[in-house]
C-alpha cells in the first residue's frame, strides 16, 4: 500500500508543467517558392524547429523553467536549455517574418531610422549580407533596436539573439546550413540575397513600434 500512496502523493503535488508547442507555419509550404522550397520548409520547420521545441520540453520538465515564458527562459538559462529555448524562439520569429506577399521596404519611423544609421535600405541590406557571409559556422544575423530606437546589426553564433543582449529584434536571418543547403547548397550569399524577397518589413515596423 505504501508505494501506491506515495505515488498518488507525488502525482497530486507535482507542479503544473508547461509544454511549449511548435507554432504552425503562417503560410503554406509552397508559398515561399521559388526562394524557399517546400522541401526546405518541411525540414526546417517540421523537423529542425520541432526538435528544438521537443528537446526544450524534455529539458525543462520538473524544473523552475517549466513555469517561465520562453522569453524568461532565454534571459535566465545557459547551456542546452538556453540553446533549445532560443532556437525555438528564433525560428518562430524567423518564420513569422517571411511572407508570400511581403512588404519589401520599410516606411515611416523605421525607414527614417534606417536612413539615419545606414544611409539607405540598400546599404543596410549590403551590411547584413556581409555580416551573414562572414559569420563563421552556424548562427544568426539580426537587425535590432535599442529602447531609443537606434538600430544595430548583430551577428551571433549558434542560438544567440538580441533578447539576450537587452535589444529588440526586428529581423533575423538564419545562416545555419539547414536553412539553405537543400535549395542553395553551399551558396550562403545567394540564399541570403534571395531571402530579402520574402522578408516582410511590415513585421519589422510593428516590432519597432512596440519596442
Binding site for Mn ion (CB under 5 A): 174, 176, 179
Rg of the chain over Cα atoms, rounded to whole angstroms, equals 19
CB 52 to Mn ion: min, Å = 9
CB 134 to Mn ion: min, Å = 19
Cβ-based nearer residue to Mn ion, 50 or 115: 50
CB 16 to Mn ion: min, Å = 30
Q: Distance between CA 121 and CA 115 in Å, rounded?
A: 7
CB 178 to Mn ion: min, Å = 5
Q: Distance between CA 97 and CA 23 in Å, rounded?
A: 13
Residue among 24, 26, 28 nearest 38 (CA)? 28
What's the CA angle centered on 123, arms 120 and 129, to 5 degrees?
A: 145
CA distance readout (Å), 191 to 81, 154, 169: 29, 19, 21
Cβ-based nearer residue to Mn ion, 114 or 179: 179
Cβ-based nearer residue to Mn ion, 25 or 151: 25
Nearest residue by C-beta to Mn ion?
174
Parallel/antiparallel/unpaired status of strands 168-174 and 151-157: unpaired
Q: Are 162 and 145 in contact (CB under 8 A)?
A: no
Cβ-based nearer residue to Mn ion, 36 or 179: 179
CB 36 to Mn ion: min, Å = 12
Cβ-based nearer residue to Mn ion, 127 or 178: 178
Residues with Cβ within 8 Å of residue 81, at least 6 apart in sequence? 56, 59, 60, 65, 73
Amino acid at each position: 500500500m505504501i508505494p501506491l500512496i506515495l505515488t498518488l502523493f507525488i502525482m497530486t503535488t507535482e507542479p503544473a508543467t508547461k509544454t511549449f508547442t511548435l507554432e504552425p507555419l503562417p503560410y503554406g509550404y509552397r508559398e515561399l517558392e521559388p526562394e524557399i522550397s517546400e522541401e526546405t520548409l518541411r525540414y526546417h520547420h517540421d523537423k529542425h524547429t520541432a526538435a528544438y521545441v521537443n528537446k526544450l520540453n524534455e529539458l525543462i520538465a520538473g524544473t523552475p523553467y517549466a513555469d517561465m515564458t520562453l522569453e524568461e527562459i532565454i534571459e535566465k538559462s545557459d547551456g542546452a536549455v538556453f540553446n533549445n529555448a532560443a532556437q525555438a524562439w528564433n525560428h518562430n520569429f524567423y518564420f513569422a517574418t517571411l511572407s508570400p506577399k511581403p512588404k519589401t521596404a520599410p516606411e515611416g519611423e523605421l525607414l527614417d531610422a534606417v536612413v539615419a544609421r545606414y544611409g539607405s535600405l540598400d546599404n543596410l541590406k549590403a551590411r547584413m549580407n556581409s555580416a551573414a557571409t562572414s559569420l563563421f559556422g552556424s548562427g544568426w544575423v539580426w537587425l535590432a533596436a535599442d529602447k531609443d530606437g537606434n538600430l544595430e546589426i548583430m551577428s551571433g553564433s549558434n542560438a544567440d539573439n538580441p533578447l539576450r543582449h537587452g535589444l529588440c529584434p526586428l529581423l533575423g536571418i538564419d545562416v545555419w546550413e539547414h536553412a539553405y543547403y537543400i535549395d542553395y547548397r553551399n551558396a550562403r550569399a545567394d540564399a541570403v540575397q534571395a531571402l530579402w524577397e520574402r522578408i516582410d518589413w511590415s513585421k519589422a515596423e510593428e516590432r519597432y513600434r512596440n519596442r
